Amino acid sequence: MRALRIKEWGGPLESAEIDVPTLGDGDLLVKVEACGIGLTVVNCMRGQLGDDPSFLPLTPGHELVGIVTAVGPGVSQALVGRRVAAYFYLVCGACPRCLASQDSLCERFRGNVGVAIDGGYAEYAVLPALNAIPVPEGIGPVEATTIPDAIATPVHVARRAGLQPGSRVAVLAAGGGVGIHMVQVARAYGADVVGLDVVPEKLGYLADELAIPAIDSSDFAATRLPDAWGGQADVIVDLYGRVPAQRWAIDRLARDGTLVALTTFPAEAFQLSSRELVQRQLAVLGSRYNSRYEAGLAAELVRSGRVRPVVSRTVGPDEVADTLEQVSAGTVLGRAALAW
């Protein structure tokens, strides 16, 4: 089969012909139909989510969707022929965290699909059965690539931050792969939402296609939240992760407000005093991926039409490397995807 591989962390994607993988106990063989192309893949390829030399050579791509064609020992034959999406984290499914639907905090976490095991930039992939999320009927493979991360991660944010009808929610980097779905999920939870971005195409899509008020945040010193909100938000979701944006967000939280952080840039750190936390009763939350249960909730939001998957670019295998560069540059609206 054809695969796109890296031979070293941070190295280029290279096309290769490799054997179709074999199945172990509890595994599924998936004929890959599509796989997401987003910034997390870039981070995976750079070794930021694991750089064990024994993982190499590696096939990246964690947002894979495809049809189960075979199952290993211990897996029901009923799964053959089903369309599934991949859950990113390799979890045990049996520890207290997993049993409490907190899979992203699994006590026996083994790494990530597309890092510790091969991902979906190949014609076939092997997944542990625990990592197979059923895709509802009527959702195509390219659309489904958004479910387990780009939409389920916002579902986790919404639940973690306690979004409810009337919550004033601002999303930074709202035109990116997660942000463009975060604004929709927040609205689905009843929140009053605005999206901030710097790319005119993304701002236009938010306003014109999703009917989300869009704010140009090119200059945070001049960036204002709606007057109707009193210039403040109850929840600010930070998908940008840079110091000026984080300080801006803290300063614009209402009393009892919450900043939700999702980025992990190691060199970015902003100052925050306990005095302002206490006097304004603020909260700063980290949000780590999502649970398999939340991936199911995300699939239902798509099936019901309450969230629209935004995949602006679908490419073949020869275009993946260039598309990853465009994702890194921040020029891709929503998500991109490889279609086999």
Task: Mark whether 36 and 66 lie in a shared domain.
Answer: yes
What is the model's pLDDT at position 272? 86
Residue 193, in any domain of the structure: yes
Residue 303, in any domain of the structure: no
Domain carrying residue 191: 150-286
The 8-class DSSP code of residue 204 comes to H
Instruction: State mean pLDDT over 277-306.
Output: 97
Residue 255, in any domain of the structure: yes
134 strand-pairing partners: 84
pTM over 0.85: yes
Task: Mark whether 46 and 182 lie in a shared domain.
Answer: no
Residue 250, in any domain of the structure: yes
Residue 232, in any domain of the structure: yes
Task: Mark whether 262 and 171 lie in a shared domain.
Answer: yes
What is the model's pLDDT at position 108? 98
Residue 138, in any domain of the structure: yes
Residue 161, in any domain of the structure: yes
Task: Mark whether 6 and 142 lie in a shared domain.
Answer: yes
Task: Mark whether 81 and 188 lie in a shared domain.
Answer: no
Q: How far is CA 129 from CA 25, 76, 210, in A?
A: 9, 9, 35
What is the model's pLDDT at position 241? 87
| 39 token code pair | 């910034």
Q: Identify the three-state secondary structure at position 188.
A: helix
pLDDT at 130 over 90: yes
Given pLDDT bands bounded at 50, 70 and 90, which one contains residue 270?
Answer: confident
168 strand-pairing partners: 192
Percent of the chain at pLDDT > 70 equals 100
Residue 226, domain CATH: 3.40.50.720
Task: Mark whether 18 and 96 lie in a shared domain.
Answer: yes
What is the model's pLDDT at position 265? 80
Task: Mark whether 120 and 11 lie in a shared domain.
Answer: yes
pLDDT at 263 over 90: no
- Is residue 66 a contact partner of residue 141, using CB atoms and an 8 Å limit? yes
Task: Mark whether 131 and 181 lie in a shared domain.
Answer: no
Per DSSP bridges, beta strands 214-216 and 192-197 are: parallel
Task: Mark whether 127 and 168 lie in a shared domain.
Answer: no
What is the model's pLDDT at position 268? 82
Task: Mark whether 89 and 113 lie in a shared domain.
Answer: yes
Residue 220, in any domain of the structure: yes
Instruction: State mean pLDDT over 301-315.
Output: 98
pLDDT at 212 over 90: yes
Using one digit for the tens of pLDDT, what is the confidence trace for 64-100?
999 999 999 999 999 999 999 999 999 999 999 999 9
What is the model's pLDDT at position 271? 85
Q: Tokens 């993982």 map to which residue?
A: 55
Using one digit for the tens of pLDDT, what is the confidence trace for 29-40?
999 999 999 999
Instruction: State mean pLDDT over 202-231.
Output: 97
Instruction: State mean pLDDT over 251-269.
Output: 91
φ/ψ (deg, to 5) at 287: -130, 120
Task: Mark whether 259 and 328 lie in a shared domain.
Answer: no
Number of compact structural domains in the chain: 2
Using one digit for the tens of pLDDT, what is the confidence trace for 150-199?
999 999 999 999 999 999 999 999 999 999 999 999 999 999 999 999 99
What is the model's pLDDT at position 62? 97
What is the model's pLDDT at position 79? 96
Mean pLDDT for the chain overall: 96
Residue 94, domain CATH: 3.90.180.10
Task: Mark whether 11 and 83 lie in a shared domain.
Answer: yes
Residue type, 63: E
Q: Which helix (H) or strand (E) holds 192?
A: strand 192-197
